Amino acid sequence: MDEESMACPRCGADMVERGVGRAEVKQCPAGHGVFLQRMDLSALIDAERSWHESDGRHTMAIPRITAGMTAPPPKPPRAPAWIATLFD
């Protein structure tokens, strides 16, 4: 099959190719899945690992608690993984 005209095996739609970080991903426009080269999968895994390593939740200093303190506003929910932020 010609790589330029890959069709989704489930619905037959033409896959949309896009850059994701350093990887090239072919994605079904109907959301049936993604296809990528092994080298691109490796790049996504490296980016995911880096995303988790830079997570500051474990290195943040604990604030000093005082009587006049109020609770900070809640943080927006963090995606469970870097890859989850790519395919909304």
Number of domains the chain contains: 1
- The DSSP code for 14 is B
| Tokens of residue 81, six digits | 């993984």
Q: What is the pLDDT, as a whole number, of residue 1?
A: 42
Tell me which residue range forms the domain holding 2.
Answer: 1-54
Q: What is the pLDDT, as a whole number, of residue 29?
A: 92
Q: What is the pLDDT, as a whole number, of residue 87?
A: 66
How far apart (Å, rounded) are the C-alpha atoms in residues 50 and 1?
Answer: 34
80 in a structural domain: no
88 in a structural domain: no
Q: What is the pLDDT, as a whole number, of residue 45?
A: 87
Block means of pLDDT (10 residues each) for the chain, 88 residues, are 73 90 88 88 86 65 76 77 71
66 in a structural domain: no
46 in a structural domain: yes
